[in-house]
Structure 1
Amino acid sequence: MLRSRLAGFIVVLISTVLWSTAGLFVQMADLDTWSVVAWRSLFSILALGVFWVVATGNRAATLQATLRGPGMLAILIGIVGGISYIVALQMTSVANVMTVYAALPFIASAIAFFALGERVTTRFVVCGLIASFGILIMSGSALSFNDIVGIVTALVMTVSFAAALVQAKRYPHLDMTLVTVLSTVATGIIALPLMKNSAPEPYQLLACALLGTLTTGVANVLSLVGGRLIRSGEAAFLLLLDVVLGPLWVWLAFDEQVGMPALIGGSIVMGAVTWYLVRPGETAKTA
């Protein structure tokens, strides 16, 4: 049990580091929203599709099981989350998107509380309040119309990913690699007629390839699989590290300025996550 729990923490942490590079690759691609979605989907399908075919034994039965109620809902959640994430990253800064995304553990815990009857610890609540304080500090900047649209779509993305975490845990029989592949196929079909016809430059294709393979593909599957081994709120809380790492990569590569409020708030969020991870466990209490 303890080894499974530790494995869950490690897998989710790895997925967080990979997931945090999404904003960097979207900036590198420098394409319209639907072109990014379409090309990202293509590379994600190629990477995960080949892996699924090789690693899965009874593919027909797995596909049939996935194309039922719980699997179809998970696919729909993936479609909404995948599109809204790219839209958010293109409408506002990576720091703003990550600030909204920081609400993930609280949304995931709320969904898991009602859907699964999960319980949370007092320490989780305290760390969450500390992280919320950091988020409030980070969000203290003027907003434009694009920022507002970006923040709303970031909220949609956050709710979608929280729902995906809970869905993966509620139905452990679901093949999450296949769910990701199918949701990505559907997302690509939606984006295809809406994308620009001009061919991307090689470096833009590389950025989309990295985005599709590392974030939409590997990171998404790792977070959902690892999330099954720990509580939904804990998985989401670990993913809060993305709030700090996402803007950091963009700042290092493109010098996207991060003000002092973002630095202070991000440090508080990082401190809250670190404190939660290093303190010994405690008995869960009803939220």
Structure 2
Amino acid sequence: MRLTHRKAVWLMLAVTLMWSIAGLVSRQLTHAHGLEVTFWRSFFTVLTLLAILPLWQGRGVFRHIPWRDTSLWLSGVCWGIMFTAFMFALTLTTVANVLVTMALGPLFTALMARFALRHKLPVRTWVAIVVAGAGIVWMYGAQLNFGKAAEGGSDGLLIGSLIALIVPIAGSVQWTVAQHQSRRVATDKTAAEIGLVPSVLIGAILSSLVTLPLTLPWQADVTDLGWLGLLGVVQLGIPCVLAVFCARVLKAAELALLGLLEVIFGILWAWLGAGEAPGANALTGGLLVIGALAANEALGWAQQNKDKRNDSPPPSILS
């Protein structure tokens, strides 16, 4: 698959749209709850990737995966944590809270890269961190009053929000590991072709194995399994593979900026499809978070383009 820049942008929009249906679909479940939702979603993702990988790279794809690579397994563990925490958080708090909390991922990744890879952070990123942090405090301020937990159930919302926070933290480790491996991938054709998909498979397997003992006896009926299969195939398996193709064409700043659309799409799906209207705190705090992240990524992208123009040699008078 060869993509132009424009096609990659449209494909990434489709990826974020598929990612964003998790909250809406989870609200359609009638019998499956808690970790059982996580198990079935991860299980169907495993089946999807076991089918996609051989179709994509041939039957010998599993022989080419560097199973002894520590980074591969670290990345897989991070994926497993994200899969498990994300769906569990959706059962405890609102879709808006989960998705806006996940929008902190690009900033957490920048911080992780600063300390692990010694990448310097520009001033604009520090400003974005402060603004986004203020948005999160505004969103969850009403939930931090534990004295009202018994009256309004804010204790469960707070726990769900804290679990959701695990997702961008694990994601920051995952993408830092990917950056660390980029040089080896650049010189290894097979690794470059396979990309991050094997670690996604490992994460889905780990998530399934960890949650399986905690989900018995199963409560999901046939309808629930249909919805959960949709999550595993359409919401996770397919878009993760497509995102690998997009990452070969789009810059990191573009990917992060486009990825924020998952938050917007997810809240809109939950609002229109499940009647879950975000509260005033979620809307105003979410606008602060998304605005800070979008401004940070957009300014970074503009600065990169400016640097490229300044570094390009002047045209020759003979040309």
Q: 2:178 — aligned with what?
A: 168
Provide closer, same or farther for how the CA distance between residues 129 and 271 of structure 1 changes in structure 2, counting only shifts above 3 A.
same
* 2:98 alignment partner in structure 1: 97
Map 1:189-268; keep pairs closer than 5 Å: 189-198=209-218, 200-223=220-243, 226-227=246-247, 235-268=255-288
**Rg larger for:** 2
Q: How does 1:33-112 map to 2 (within 5 A)?
A: 33-57=34-58, 58-63=60-65, 65-112=66-113
Q: Does structure 1 residue 146 correspond to structure 2 residue 156?
A: yes
Letter in 2 for 1:34: L
Residue identity matched to 1:24 = L
Query: With structure 1 as the length reference, what TM-score do the two structures score?
Result: 0.81
Deviation at 1:260, TM superposition (A): 2.7
Output the CA distance in 2 between the equivalents of 1:160 and 1:11: 25
C-alpha distance in 2, partners of 1:122/1:271? Answer: 16
Segment drifting more, 78-87 vs 243-252: 243-252
> What amino acid is aligned across from residue 20 of structure 2 in structure 1?
S
In the alignment, what sits opposite 1:17?
Answer: 17
Instruction: Note the C-alpha offset of 1:47.
Output: 1.7
Partner of 1:155: 165
Contact 2:140 2:158 survives alignment (8 Å): no
Given residue 178 of structure 2, which amino acid in structure 1 is its aligned partner? A
Contact 1:241–1:270, Cα closer than 8 Å, also in 2: no
Distance 1:42 1:97, change over 3 A: same
For residues 120 and 89 of structure 1, what CA distance do their matches in structure 2 show?
32
How is 1:111-130 mapped onto 2 (pairs within 5 angstroms)?
Answer: 111-119=112-120
How far residue 87 of structure 1 moved from its aligned partner, in angstroms, is: 1.3
> 2:243 & 2:137 partners in 1: Cα distance?
26
Residue 281 of structure 1, aligned match among 302, 307, 315: 302
Q: Which residue of 1 aligns with 2:200?
A: 180
8 Å contact from structure 1 (residues 41, 187) kept in 2: yes
- Normalised TM-score (structure 2): 0.74
String of CA shifts for 1:153-198, please: whole Å, max 9, x gaps: 1111111112222222322435311211122122212222221334
- By how many angstroms is 1:60 displaced? 4.1
Identity, in percent, stands at 26
Structure 2: segments with no counterpart, 5+ residues: 145-153, 186-190, 308-319
How many Å apart are 1:70 and its aligned residue?
0.8
What is the alpha-carbon distance in structure 1 between the residues aligned to residue 296 and residue 100 of structure 2?
Answer: 19
Q: SS of the residue aligned with 2:28?
A: helix
How far apart, CA to CA, are the structure 2 residues paired with 1:103 and 1:75?
21
State the alpha-carbon separation in 1 of the partners of residues 130 and 254 from structure 2: 14
TM-superposed CA distance for 1:127, in Å, is 5.3
Moved more, 208-217 or 54-63: 54-63
Q: Is the 8 A contact 2:114 2:120 kept in 1?
A: yes
125-134 or 13-22, larger mean C-alpha shift: 125-134
Task: Give the number of aligned pairs.
Answer: 282
State how far apart, in whole Å, the 2-side matches of 1:44 and 1:129 are: 36
Residues 109 and 232 in structure 1, CA contact (< 8 A), matched pair in contact too:
no
Q: Which runs of 5+ in 1 are unaligned?
A: none
Shift in Å, 1:89: 1.0
Paired residue for 2:150?
A: none
**Aligned-residue offset at 1:208:** 0.5
Secondary structure (helix, strand or coil) at the match of 1:162 reads: helix
Whole-angstrom CA distance in 2 between matches of 1:223 and 1:125: 27
**Does the 8 A contact of 1:100 with 1:158 survive in 2?**
yes
Provide the rounded CA distance (Å) in 2 between the counterparts of 1:20 and 1:151.
Answer: 18
Change (3 A) 1:218 1:170: farther
